[in-house]
Amino acid sequence: MSTVTGGELVVRTLGKAGVERIFGLHGAHLETIFQSCRSHGIAVLDTRHEVAAGHAAEGYARATRKLGVAMVTAGPGFTNVITSMANAYLDRTPVLYLSGAAALRDAETNTLQAGIDQVSIARPITKWAHQITTVQQIPRLVAQAVRIATSGPTGPVLLDLPSDVLGAQVEEMAIPEPIALSPIAPGREAVMRALQLLREARRPVIMAGVGAWQSACERELREFADSAGIPVFSDFQAHGLLPSDHPLYGGTFHKMADLTGAERPDVVLALGVRFGLFTLGSSDRLVPSAAQIIHVEIDPKEIGRLRGVALGVVADSREMLRALLASPQQWPDHSDWNNRIRTLKRTRLETQTRETLRSTPPIHPYQAMAALVDSIESNTTVVADGAETYHWLNEVIRQSRPGSYITHGFLGAVGFGMGLALGAQTADPQRRVLCLVGDGAFGFTMAELDTMARHHLPIVVMIMNNRSWAASQHFQEIVSGAERVTGTRLSDARYHDVAAALGCHAQHVTRIEDLRPALKAAFDSGKPACLNVEVDLAPLPPELHLLMARHS
């Protein structure tokens, strides 16, 4: 009988689970996996920093709702990917991290890239972390890791792979078949109570959160919102579940702050929502304290975390919507309520467009975002990094496809954008990807422009260059005083020259009238492109006013 290596078994098991691509950076500990990927046609996208490989696996998972896989070498490769692991953990992104590790036979010998307990480090920021110590156990444990990462609530897992386990030869063995798990459906009583609450509501809203996005409920959400006439707000991950131009789409959660006085929601159907940062914590600015909340969540820990609920339902969002749709109702006429939300949305856009209009440099960031949104094809995936940068984008972003807006989660780690964009672009080479970054955020992984160029990934990177860690500088000015700014300024670096040197199309943009043509030229170049756009540092995005008010 022929033999195979441990690395080969890892790759075959992943192949059987449907994995087509791995993001990683080489190290000798991983050599058997690299070689097996080569033999089995699993593509490896090699990045310039492990954190970008991790973020790329997240971006792939967030663009596709499938498992992302990242591999990093022992020691520093592992420590470099930790930010991605933490990000995936807090955002419930299904990523399998494979870490190389020193040979088991070299334990406690002060050998290379060893001496740290990678599993213990990963345990608090993963759903499951495990070191495989026997080559025969590889197929079973890799299959288990995939199942844990992809079953709800999804999340990251780590498999730690000692080099002698990966290199060991073993007789050919069977690879387990993947097991499909059926989603959790709600009980009938809960569905009837939810329908009653929604029927009796005068100003109901649906809030769609990460759980809604993960459940792939776009068809059911639209059908239910249309039939009941209930407007929908979404968190960032759920953006695009209901297309932004749908008459019932109100915007991202923060826009609910525009509903004031007697115009506030009275019943909220919270689908897969995780109350916290994006709902302004326990404050009642978005969801009034008097509102009755129907909270549908796959993870019972999320229900009642910050707010009391009228009805808690542990279930998959799509299953809940299917159950609601299965009992056709006579819905009250909500057209006045819907019209009010549409008017507020339109007024916000018109006011901002008017107030930020200017024809001379520096470019107002809101105008830059408006130009961006006008310049992208409807199926473009937008990745947004930076801080004020993404808050500005939130004012105007309109997407029509789930998974097409990828931005910050609870970790709030600036610098993830370039990696996420790599993952989103490889997930679907036909779709265009725009990566919007602050100048600070760009600096973390600007070498990934080289990855984009080497792999012919025509991502358009747009830098909002305000020569500052703007959110930090503004915070400092407000809290400590404008005269005490320290450590938060950046320079007017010629980032476009760096991009050109790495083989990208590049342009420096200082005037608003040049931005649309520059974006068009960037998309038309067929290459990765980088626009270094000089924008005004002074204005504060409206969402940040809301957040700062909360923290002051």
Q: Which of 90, 291, 393, 471 binds ligand TPP (CB under 6 A)?
A: 471
In this structure, the number of other CB atoms found within 10 A of the CB of residue 153 comes to 17
**Residue 335 vs 486, nearer CB to ligand TPP:** 486
CB 7 within 8 A of CB 135: no
Q: Does 469 bind ligand TPP (CB under 6 A)?
A: yes
How far apart, in Å, do the first and last CA atoms of the chain sit? 70
How many angstroms separate the CA atoms of 108 and 430, rounded?
49
With CB atoms as reference, the residue minimizing the distance to ligand TPP is: 438
In this structure, the number of other CB atoms found within 10 A of the CB of residue 514 comes to 17
How many angstroms separate the CA atoms of 165 and 145, rounded?
17
Binding mask 472-511 for ligand TPP (x = CB under 6 A): x---------------------------------------
Binding mask 414-453 for ligand TPP (x = CB under 6 A): xx----------------------xxxx------------
Q: Does 466 bind ligand TPP (CB under 6 A)?
A: yes
Alpha helices in 168-217 (DSSP H): 188-200, 210-214
Asked whether the bond before 362 is cis by omega within 30 degrees of 0, the reply is yes
Q: Decide the pairing of beta strands 169-171 and 3-5.
A: antiparallel
Token pair, residue 135, equals 């080559």
Alpha helices in 445-524 (DSSP H): 448-454, 470-480, 495-501, 512-524
**Residue 268 vs 414, nearer CB to ligand TPP:** 414
The residues that are catalytic are 29, 50, 113, 412
* Site size with ligand TPP, rule: CB under 6 A: 19
Q: Does 539 bind ligand TPP (CB under 6 A)?
A: no
CA atoms within 13 A on the CB side of 473: 17
**Residue 52 vs 149, nearer CB to ligand TPP:** 52
**Residue 24 vs 386, nearer CB to ligand TPP:** 386
CB 439 within 8 A of CB 415: no
Closest separation in Å from C-beta 439 to ligand TPP: 5
- Bridge-partner residues for 530, per DSSP? 461, 506
Type of residue at 16: K
**Residue 55 vs 527, nearer CB to ligand TPP:** 55
Give strand ranges (E) for 332-415: 381-384, 405-406
CB 188 within 8 A of CB 322: no
Instruction: Give residues 374-393 in contact with ligand TPP (rule: CB under 6 A).
Output: 386-389
Candidate segments 212-220, 290-298, 343-351, 461-469, binder of ligand TPP by CB under 6 A: 461-469
Closest separation in Å from C-beta 213 to ligand TPP: 23
**Residue 250 vs 440, nearer CB to ligand TPP:** 440
Q: Does 464 bind ligand TPP (CB under 6 A)?
A: yes
Closest separation in Å from C-beta 541 to ligand TPP: 9
Q: Does 412 bind ligand TPP (CB under 6 A)?
A: yes
Q: Does 225 bind ligand TPP (CB under 6 A)?
A: no
* Chain residues that interact with ligand TPP, rule: CB under 6 A: 386-389, 412-415, 438-441, 464, 466, 468-472
